[in-house]
Amino acid sequence: GAVVSQHPSWVICKSGTSVKIECRSLDFQATTMFWYRQFPKQSLMLMATSNEGSKATYEQGVEKDKFLINHASLTLSTLTVTSAHPEDSSFYICSAPRWLAGGSDEQFFGPGTRLTVL
Amino acid sequence: GQQVMQIPQYQHVQEGEDFTTYCNSSTTLSNIQWYKQRPGGHPVFLIQLVKSGEVKKQKRLTFQFGEAKKNSSLHITATQTTDVGTYFCAGLLRSQGNLIFGKGTKLSVKP
């Protein structure tokens, strides 16, 4: 079945550095991908919708200059956390819908990336 | 690796019928969350269960967390066409761990 991968699965970085997280759809094309953040013991929070060939759509309260999203191709979206700080430490997940005949879609989640900023 | 299994994959019901989706983990979960994704949308958080044997209700939706904290269910009573969508469970293996999603159950409701 369809798979969505994320890389890296975990990363530890120093405060002030930038970290790039990749989300790939492995056997289908995804014109849209979603990026979420999950704080400990809390639910997923949608950060932004990544759109291939156009700008990402950010949810209210999410800094677009802080969390740069680039949907470079139909199978790849990247999230770059710029000038990371300890409060950015979190679990980041992407998901991608695969559209089916008839107009419905299936949603596939990546395995997530655990970011720890020291 | 650790997995959260969700069944059934698809469920077609007549409006007014009940619907249940089940999640099972081979490992004890810290908590379990349920999400609903409407066609064309993104998954939206519904509820979180934390305690062993916990039961929570949201109108026609009843969520249960098993005594062993390895399984959970979502039951919808008297489905309506507005219930159409995909329901995902997501388990947290430990308090600081990562969410692991089930593959979802796609519900269609025939008027």
Contact with chain B for residue A112, Cβ under 8 A: yes
Q: What is the pLDDT of residue A88?
A: 95
Q: What is the pLDDT of residue A103?
A: 64
What pLDDT digit, counting tens, does each position of A56-114 carry? 999 999 999 999 999 989 999 999 999 999 999 999 999 998 877 666 678 888 989 99
Give mean pLDDT, residues A34-45.
Answer: 85
| Higher-confidence position of A3 and B16 | B16
Contact with chain A for residue B88, Cβ under 8 A: yes
Give B-chain residues touching A95 at CB under 8 angstroms: 42-43
How far, in Å, are A10, A92, A111 from residue B1 at the CA level?
A: 15, 19, 11
**Cβ of A44 and B98 within 8 Å?**
no
In whole angstroms, give the CA distance from residue A61 to residue B25: 34
Contact with chain A for residue B98, Cβ under 8 A: yes
Contact with chain A for residue B91, Cβ under 8 A: no
**Cβ of A43 and B96 within 8 Å?**
no
Q: What is the pLDDT of residue B56?
A: 96
If one counts every other C-beta atom within 10 angstroms of the C-beta of residue B88, the result is: 27
In whole angstroms, give the CA distance from residue A24 to residue A33: 9
Q: What is the pLDDT of residue A83?
A: 96
pLDDT < 70 stretches in chain B: 1-2, 95-97
Using CB atoms, pick whichever of B48, B88, B95 lies closest to residue A40. Answer: B95
Q: What is the pLDDT of residue B36?
A: 94
With beta carbons less than 8 A apart as the criterion, state whether B87 and B36 touch: yes
Q: CA torsion B15→B48→B44→A47, rounded to 10°?
A: 180
**Cβ of A38 and B99 within 8 Å?**
yes
